């Protein structure tokens, strides 16, 4: 999060509201908070069903906190097995 914007959000109570709203929408199975490269940082593990979820999840973070968002898709073991099976079927 942008330090200046996040500082103001902390003072006004907006930070907790924005993060709470994100958590309500994303329903993460895990959430971690730390400092990374000198900035307030959150890591959220959640199931994004469709890329169209990106705007409703991210816009408040951009607007209210000046946040940088990085979304990284991952697979569980069953999804990896399915993906590898699909790859092998085309070989």
Domain extent, residue 44, equals 3-89
- What average pLDDT does range 54-76 have in this prediction? 93
pLDDT digits (tens, 9 = 90+) for 8-41: 999 999 999 999 999 999 999 999 999 999 999 9
| Domains in the chain, number | 1
pLDDT of residue 11: 96
- What average pLDDT does range 38-49 have in this prediction? 94
pLDDT of residue 91: 79
Question: 44: which 2 tokens?
Answer: 């959220």
What percent of the chain is predicted at pLDDT more than 90?
A: 93
Question: 31: which 2 tokens?
Answer: 């959430």
Give me the DSSP letters along 47-86.
----GGGHHHHHHHHHHHH-----------HHHHHHHHHH
Q: What is the pTM of this model?
A: 0.82
Helix 54-65 crosses helix 3-12 at what angle (to 10 degrees)?
90
- What average pLDDT does range 75-85 have in this prediction? 95
pLDDT of residue 61: 94
Is a pLDDT exceeding 90 seen at residue 43? Answer: yes
């Amino acid at each position: 999060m942008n330090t200046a914007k996040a500082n103001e959000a902390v003072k006004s109570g907006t930070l907790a509201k924005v993060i709470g709203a994100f958590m309500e929408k994303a329903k993460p199975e895990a959430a971690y908070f730390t400092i990374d490269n000198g900035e307030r940082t959150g890591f959220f593990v959640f199931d994004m069903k469709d890329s169209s979820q990106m705007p409703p999840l991210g816009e408040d973070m951009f607007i209210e906190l000046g946040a940088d968002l990085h979304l990284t898709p991952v697979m569980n073991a069953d999804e990896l097995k399915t993906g590898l099976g699909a790859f092998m079927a085309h070989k």
